[in-house]
Amino acid sequence: MKKAVVILALFAAILAGMPMMSQAQDAGVAKLTYGPDKWIDLHLLFQMQYTNTYKWDSSVETDSDAVWASDFAPKRMRMIFNGQVAPNVTFFVDTDIINNVDVSNKAQSERYFAFLQDAYINYKFGDELQIATGMMLIPFMHHNRQSAVSLLGVNYNTTVVNIAESTVWRDYGIEFRGLLANKMIDYRIGLFDGIERSAGSIADDSDNINNNGIPRVTGRIQINLKDAEDGFFYSENYLGKKTILSFGAGIDYMKDARIINGSQEDYLAWTVDAIIDYPLASNMVLAFQAAYVHMENRPGTLSSVAGITMSGLTMPEKENGYFAQIGLLLNNTWQPVIKYASWVYQEAQGTDDVTVSYLTFGLNYFINGHNANIKLEYQMPVGEFVSGTDLDKLPNQRVVTLQAQVFI
């Protein structure tokens, strides 16, 4: 924790001194320039959360023994660096500091760790073609490519976004993207590491995963009927600054990503989504998003379901799910939000289909847009959870979350 505090203090000191060093200011954000077409911009995202979770044992029929468990913890503490080194060459790097709840019994200094979140170099040849290489959010669906700064609620719909073999939906690789047909068509396609063959394995071994080392292929196409989203990251809450009416589709594919009954099987996921961010009046903005995801042969184990740690359960061969969310911004200040998310593990653990569904109600209060706001959410499970198998560990629980956010 001491290291984290030192890093944040140093970062704050740099920001405080930059107005004196800077040759340029852009919309109030300090920008340090090094000459023509050379600059670096520094940002900080801090989200502090208080959660109160109503927990009970899913193996019992009633919640008479349930208890409320509260916790204060940072959700995100990101230092963000982006800059330009040539007229058409930019870069983006951000780090995060996470509260490691699994080591709560250790010393305070061991409970936090920093890690690299994103790091990529971007070459822009025009609106029609940009090439990025590094570690990045894969271009699968609108929701997983959105910035954490401008979420509609306190978090992503992680129940539905179960992208395989990614570090928080990220992978190393190269991506080609651009806007075509007067910015009506947004395309993004990339080649990534994905599942790699184990070191020292025999190339023709039929029991091995991806023994030919074929890259992962991920791509997305979006049709924009109103404004285009020309940034690397999407937003799901433009607060009236853009008029979005778009729909898209994505695919994620890895060759021989999983062994089932001694046979190599390909991983394939596809999605369709719709995005609306539409001013209804001068003091009212509608934000809506919905997506459907289908997935086959997701590699790995069910290490986490709906944010709850599992015990290494085998992935079902097929999964699918969807989410829908809607928010209504009033007077640029208040925004009530409703979300619904559902995910189906088909014939999981030799049982019938297991469905995990959640309904969420929220209220956002914007002090200064995404730079300063407070969000409150209440999440509750919907429907029955399966018992009698390992999957009865799925959480029959309700969660209240209060979050404060600052972004500079």
Q: The domain that contains 49 carries what CATH number? A: 2.40.160.10
* Spatial distance between the Cα atoms of 376 and 374, rounded to a whole number of angstroms: 7
Q: Answer whether residue 1 shows pLDDT above 50.
A: no
CA angle 381, 293, 98 (to 5 degrees): 65
Give the residue from 220, 202, 221, 203 showing the smallest Cα distance to 212.
Answer: 203
Grade residue 193 by pLDDT with cuts at 50, 70 and 90: very high
Asked whether the predicted pLDDT for residue 373 surpasses 60, the reply is yes
Q: Is residue 289 a contact partner of residue 320, using CB atoms and an 8 Å limit?
A: no
**Residue 299 pLDDT more than 60?**
yes
Residue 148 counted as domain residue: yes
Q: How many CB atoms lie within 10 A of CB 148?
A: 18
Q: Range with the lowest mean pLDDT among 30-44, 66-80, 105-119, 242-256?
A: 105-119
403 domain-assigned: yes
Which pLDDT score is estimated for 26? 40
Q: For residue 69, is it within any domain?
A: no
The reply to whether 97 falls in a domain is yes
Render pLDDT for 89-125 as a digit per residue (tens, 0 to 9): 999 999 998 766 554 455 555 566 788 889 999 999 9
Q: Which residue has the tokens 């999957």?
A: 391
Q: How many independent structural domains does the chain possess?
A: 1
pLDDT computed for residue 112 by the predictor: 67
Quote the percentage of the chain above a pLDDT of 90.
56
- 217 falls within a domain: yes
Q: What is the mean pLDDT of the chain?
A: 82
Residue 177 burial by Cβ neighbours in a 10 Å radius (0-12, 13-18, 19+): buried
Domain membership of residue 303 (yes or no) is yes
pLDDT tens-digit readout, 5-23? 444 444 444 444 444 333 3
Asked if the structure places residue 160 within a domain, the reply is: yes
Cβ neighbors of 109 (< 8 A, separation 6 or more) are 1, 2, 3
Closest CA to 237 of 132, 122, 327, 127: 327
Least confident of 57-61, 164-168, 283-287: 57-61
| Residue 68 within a domain | no
Average pLDDT on 183-187 reads: 98
Query: Mean pLDDT throughout 226-253?
Result: 97
Residue 394, pLDDT above cutoff 70:
no
- Structural domain for 132, as ranges: 2-63+74-407
Highest mean pLDDT, choosing among 165-174, 311-320, 379-388 = 165-174
pLDDT score at 34: 85
